[in-house]
């Protein structure tokens, strides 16, 4: 009996576009707020070799950043190639591209944003994890976008036009302290 693959697999990914544009220096010790606009699209799906579908997807994140001292914009667009068996059917493969493909690319984008803001000597930006299954359940099918507004604790959600907007206030010093406290707790309670 042939085993059917249960998860999509990434073949390749790359950052297609990245910009960080600040009006002035943004000190790392000054809290920053941001609104994030998330974009997603399936560029194409083709039949690959070895009884696979291959899909090319794009995920982007545009952050409008504001602090007491200045404001700016960070934009990143990433593309990825994913494969899955034809046994799923084209419709199921497309659903998995949306949920699993977008989730995988989002983890890369989150890491990229975290690293580049840390290296830029500005407040380190920690973007939230997005539940893309929920994202696409509520999406406008024509545009593949929706709006979510997360207040400081991420508890409030308001659905509006066709963009995701995540409001987040970052406090660099608190994040450092939390990271150090989390590191101290590692290694305890191991059997």
Instruction: Kindly report the CATH number that applies to the domain delimited by 9-185.
Output: 3.10.420.10
Residues facing 168 on adjacent strands = 34
Residues near 29 by Cβ (< 8 Å), separated by ≥ 6? 123, 172, 173
Q: What is the pTM of this model?
A: 0.71
Average pLDDT in the chain = 76
- Cα separation, 170 vs 122, in Å, equals 11
Beta strand 32-47 with 164-170 is antiparallel
Q: DSSP string covering 51-104, please?
A: TEEEEEEEEEEEEEEEESS-EEEEEEEEEEEEEEEGGG-HHHHHHHIIIIIHHH
Please name which of 77, 83, 133 lies closest in space to residue 105, comparing C-alpha atoms: 77
139 pLDDT band, cuts 50/70/90, is low
CB 130 within 8 A of CB 112: no
Sheet holding 52-67, edge to edge: 9-22, 71-85, 52-67, 32-47, 164-170
Q: For the chain, give the percent of residues with pLDDT over 90.
A: 42
pLDDT beyond 70 at 183: no
The pLDDT tens digits of the residues spanning 44-56 come to 999 988 889 999 9
Predicted confidence (pLDDT) per residue in 152-169, tens digit: 333 333 323 233 444 444
Identify the CA nearest to 136 among candidates 158, 109, 164: 164
For 31: left if phi > 0, alpha if psi spans -120 to 50, otherwise beta; the answer is: beta
Residue 136 has a pLDDT of 80
Task: Give how far the C-alpha of residue 73 lies from the chain's centroid of Cα atoms, to the nearest Å.
Answer: 16
Asked if 88 and 9 touch (Cβ cutoff 8 Å), the reply is no
Q: Span 90-99, mean pLDDT?
A: 94
**140 and 162 in contact (C-beta within 8 Å)?**
yes
């Amino acid at each position: 009996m042939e085993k059917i693959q249960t998860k999509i697999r990434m073949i390749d990914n790359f950052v297609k576009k990245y910009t960080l544009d600040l009006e002035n220096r943004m000190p790392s010790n000054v809290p920053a707020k941001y609104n994030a606009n998330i974009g997603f699209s399936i560029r194409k799906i083709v039949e690959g070799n070895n009884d696979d579908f291959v899909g090319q997807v794009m995920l982007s994140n545009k952050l409008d950043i504001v602090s007491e001292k200045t404001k700016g914009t960070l934009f990143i667009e990433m593309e990825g190639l994913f494969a899955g068996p034809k046994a799923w059917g084209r419709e199921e493969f497309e659903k998995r591209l949306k949920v699993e493909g977008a989730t995988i690319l989002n983890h890369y984008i989150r890491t990229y944003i975290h690293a580049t803001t840390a290296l830029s000597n500005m407040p380190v930006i920690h973007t939230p994890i997005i539940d893309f299954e929920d994202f696409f359940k509520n999406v406008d099918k024509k545009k593949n976008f929706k709006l979510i507004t997360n207040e400081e604790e991420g508890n409030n959600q308001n659905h509006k036009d066709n963009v995701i907007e995540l409001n987040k206030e970052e406090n660099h010093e608190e994040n450092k302290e939390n990271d150090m406290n989390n590191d101290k707790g590692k290694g305890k309670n191991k059997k």
